[in-house]
Amino acid sequence: MKVLVIGGTGMVGSHVVQELRARDVDVYVLTRSMEKAEQLPTGVKGVVGDLLKPDTVRSVFGGVDGVFLLNAVSTTEAHEGLMAVNGARMADVDRIVYLSVHDVDHAPHLPHFGAKLPVEMAIQESGIDYTILRPNNFFQNDLWSKEALLQYGVYPQPIGTVGLSRVDVRDIAEAAALALTTDGHAGATYNLVGPEVLTGPDSAARWSDALGKPITYGGDDLDAWEQQALQFLPPFMVFDFRLMYAFFQERGLKATDDDVARLTDLLGRPPRRFEDFARETAQQWQG
């Protein structure tokens, strides 16, 4: 089986590549960067191209059996997703797995959410067998907070006190690989979630236990968060994420018992727990 992974050099996509290779899939990764193409794991083939360019869309999907589609957060996210769907249609790709976001239709005004809705619709009408994965907030987002956690004892992600059903990226990757390589998932939409609801203070407490030191939640002040985030993220992304965090603080993003049960059935085991992720990560950081 030949699978093209779009977004395969990022946090989620690189794990998807690993899961597919573990299943002896012939993996190709589309990237704009020749340097990244040359740094892919052994046995993974890099394809240099750009979904905003018709030549890429007309060429990269040929001979592909399945596509994992992850479009990075950008001002052209929806357009790139639609271009990929058209490329897959023209090449008669058999199966596509799309990474969307949990409860995407509950907050279409958020750029991070709303950009995914037209891509979902296009995939559903494409005639291709599809599976849509809708993940919650990633555990691994906290890796960006290493300095804040270790040096300042602060958990800075302003996710609020209503709560999120956060999920491990490794569970997302395994779900994607299963949807691509096993039958029974055509037309399905899976909410990819963790087994518990976590607030900002909860996340800080888990990190405190894992690191063996007091960790304080940085609070819900989005003005302060925006000022900090602008030091390392582009303004459009900071604005987008601020809107998202405001939504989290007001309404949360919680899974149902059925969401957890369906994911457990898909994976063949319960989804990973945040406290285990925090403990594993703390051991790596401190070791």
Count of domains in the chain? Answer: 1
DSSP code of residue 256: -
Note whether 254 and 125 are within 8 A (CB): no
> Which DSSP letter does residue 103 get?
T
The residue type of 104 is V
- The answer on pLDDT for 116 being more than 90 is yes
pLDDT in tens, 126-140: 999 999 999 999 999
248/242 Cα distance (integer angstroms): 10
Find the helix or strand (DSSP H, E) in which 4 lies: strand 2-6
Tell me the pLDDT tens digit for each residue of 243-256. 999 999 999 999 99
Task: Provide the pLDDT for residue 113.
Answer: 97
Q: Which residues have a Cβ under 8 Å from the Cβ of 209 and sit 6 or more positions away?
A: 275, 278, 279
pLDDT (0 to 100) of residue 98: 98
Percent of the chain residues past pLDDT 90, beyond the cut? 99
Chain position carrying tokens 């993003």: 253
pLDDT score, position 268: 98
Report the C-alpha dihedral over residues 245, 232, 10, 96, rounded to 10 degrees.
50
Q: Which helix (H) or strand (E) holds 98?
A: strand 95-99
Residue 19 lies in a domain: yes
**What dihedral do alpha carbons 101, 107, 109, 111 form, nearest 10°?**
-20
Residue 115 lies inside a defined structural domain of this protein: yes
Query: Quick check: is 234 in a domain?
Result: no
Is residue 116 in some structural domain? Answer: yes
* Distances, alpha carbon 81 to alpha carbons 2, 6, 73, 117, in Å: 20, 10, 11, 10
Is 79 contained in some domain? yes
C-alpha distance from residue 134 to each of 21, 176, 234 (Å): 23, 11, 25
In a domain, 98, yes or no: yes
Q: What secondary structure does DSSP assign to 10-31, as a single string?
A: SHHHHHHHHHHHHTT-EEEEEE
In which band, very low, low, confident or very high, does the pLDDT at 86 lie, cut at 50, 70 and 90? Answer: very high
Taking residues 207-222, report their average pLDDT. 98
Q: Is 225 a domain residue?
A: no
> Whole-number mean pLDDT of the chain?
97
The pLDDT of residue 287 = 83
The residue segments making up the domain with residue 179 are 2-196+254-286
The whole-angstrom separation of Cα 147 and Cα 152 is 7
pLDDT at 19: 98
Q: Is a pLDDT exceeding 90 seen at residue 111?
A: yes
- Statement: residue 83 has pLDDT above 90: yes
Query: pLDDT grade, residue 183 (50/70/90)?
Result: very high
Does a structural domain hold residue 10? Answer: yes
Neighbour count for residue 257 (Cβ, 10 Å): 7
CATH assignment of the domain containing 140: 3.40.50.720
Rounded Cα distance, 186 and 95, in Å: 8
Reported as a pLDDT band with limits 50, 70 and 90, residue 82 is very high
Cβ neighbours for 107, distance < 8 A, ≥ 6 positions apart: 113, 114, 244, 247
Distant-in-sequence, close-in-space partners of 1: CB < 8 Å, separation ≥ 6: 25, 26, 65, 66, 180, 181
pLDDT in tens, 15-74: 999 999 999 999 999 999 899 989 999 999 999 999 999 999 999 999 999 999 999 999
- Distance CA(239)–CA(226), nearest Å, equals 8
pLDDT digits (tens, 9 = 90+) for 145-181: 999 999 999 999 999 999 999 999 999 999 999 999 9
Q: Is 41 left (phi over 0), alpha (psi -120 to 50) or beta?
A: beta
Question: Are the beta carbons of 100 and 133 closer than 8 angstroms?
Answer: yes
